[in-house]
């Protein structure tokens, strides 16, 4: 009888401890401090979500159907589109639900899953953009050795390292976040669950989590960005040495799309994390840009500024037109 009472008490203490550590739900404040903005923002985000899904999916399908696009650059672009799809599906549906109705809550398990998946995709994308910069460096600075260096298995290995390293870092961050105590604090001044926002909400010691974030930012924030910058310094030097203006123009056109995507990704993201803690409204709008609108713009940039993609689209549309006309006959 005594052992049963002790066991029941231990279970009760454990349940109370669990309830204190993890609230059943989290409240996402989002843009509720600007209620007049929620309905128009819902419409804009719904349209961007639909076009993001269509644009990134079409890039993947197009590269699979068109042999001309089955090159290392488009292999990396396919993975970038897949990452953008994953990040968009992780954040936007819940954001649309919160904007549409008065309920701003998210289940705790869904919140931690969102934080884990977003951390995984963002880290992987940082590493992948650095790999794409290296690919452009090899293509311009060592064009005769490009096929030997960027062969199929080298590309597969580089992409696998990007995904695996992002997964490893997100697992570490998510696991450390799960051990935090929140003391019934469940209101996040953000529009989605993010690891740094959850750490700020904790009432227990977060020194280990803060150190882990700093260490994780070294390879995915500093090293990736430095890789991009160094690659483009060598690319710029190689382009300036080209004798003809036409050659310089073609070399610049092969890099301009990637350079624009890198600027849109690292620029707002870096500026957001360098903001002072009190400037939450500006940080949320900047986060909205690189989390929601950058995945929308990426396929547009590569489609509108790339001759191979436009010709592949024309070829597929022309074949579809011929098929339709044959059926009509």
Measure Cα distances from 131 to 150, 152, 171 in Å.
11, 14, 22
**What distances in angstroms separate CA 20 from CA 8, 15, 238, one per listed residue?**
18, 9, 59
Weakly modelled stretches of the chain, pLDDT under 70: 1-22, 271-280, 304-306, 308, 313, 316-317, 319-329
316 lies in a domain?
no
- The predicted pLDDT at position 280 comes to 67
Give pTM, 2 decimals.
Answer: 0.86
pLDDT of residue 322: 57
Is 313 a member of any domain?
A: no
What pLDDT does 66 receive? 78
Q: Confirm whether 291 is domain-assigned.
A: yes
For the chain, what is the domain count? 1
The CATH number of residue 178's host domain is: 1.20.1070.10
What pLDDT is stored for residue 232 in this prediction?
92
Per-residue model confidence (pLDDT) at position 102 = 80
The set of residues, in sequence order, having a beta carbon less than 8 Å from that of 211 and lying 6+ positions away, is none
In a domain? residue 74: yes
Domain residues for 226? 23-308
- The percentage of residues in the chain with a pLDDT greater than 90, rounded to a whole number, is 34
Q: State the number of CA atoms in the 13 A half-sphere of 65 facing the CB.
A: 16
The rounded distance, in Å, linking the Cα atoms of 315 and 148 is 30
Q: Is residue 165 part of a domain?
A: yes
For residue 262, tell me if it sits in a domain: yes
pLDDT, residue 273, reads 65
pLDDT reported for residue 242: 80
Residue 317 within a domain: no
Q: In which element (H, E) is residue 95 found?
A: helix 72-100
pLDDT tens column, 109-160: 899 999 999 999 999 999 999 999 999 999 988 888 999 999 999 999 999 9
pLDDT at 190: 86
Q: What is the pLDDT of residue 21?
A: 57
Confirm whether 10 is domain-assigned. Answer: no
């Amino acid at each position: 009888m005594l052992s049963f009472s002790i066991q029941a008490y231990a279970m009760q203490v454990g349940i109370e401890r669990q309830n204190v550590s993890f609230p059943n739900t989290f409240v996402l404040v989002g843009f509720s401090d600007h209620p007049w903005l929620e309905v128009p923002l819902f419409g804009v985000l719904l349209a961007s979500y639909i076009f993001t899904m269509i644009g990134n999916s079409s890039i993947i399908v197009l590269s699979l159907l068109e042999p001309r696009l089955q090159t290392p650059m488009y292999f990396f672009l396919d993975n970038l589109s897949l990452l953008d799809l994953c990040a968009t599906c992780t954040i936007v549906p819940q954001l649309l639900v919160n904007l549409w109705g008065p309920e701003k809550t998210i289940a705790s398990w869904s919140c931690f899953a969102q934080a884990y998946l977003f951390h995984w995709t963002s880290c992987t994308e940082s590493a992948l953009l650095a790999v794409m910069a290296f690919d452009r460096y090899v293509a311009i600075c060592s064009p005769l050795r490009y096929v030997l260096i960027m062969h199929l298995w080298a590309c597969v290995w580089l992409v696998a390292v990007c995904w695996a390293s992002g997964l490893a870092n997100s697992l570490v961050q998510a696991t450390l976040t799960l051990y935090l105590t929140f003391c019934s604090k469940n209101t996040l001044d953000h529009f989605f669950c993010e690891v740094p926002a959850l750490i700020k909400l904790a009432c227990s010691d977060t020194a280990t989590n803060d150190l882990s974030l700093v260490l994780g930012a070294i390879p995915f924030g500093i090293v990736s960005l430095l890789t991009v910058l160094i690659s483009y310094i060598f690319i710029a030097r190689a382009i300036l040495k080209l004798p003809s203006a036409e050659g310089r123009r073609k070399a610049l056109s092969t890099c301009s799309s990637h350079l624009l995507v890198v600027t849109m990704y690292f620029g707002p993201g870096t500026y957001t994390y360098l903001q002072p803690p009190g400037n939450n409204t500006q940080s949320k709008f900047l986060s909205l840009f690189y989390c929601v609108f950058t995945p929308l713009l990426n396929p547009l940039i590569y489609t509108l500024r790339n001759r191979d993609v436009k010709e592949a689209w024309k070829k597929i549309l022309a074949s579809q037109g011929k098929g339709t006309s044959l059926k009509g006959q």
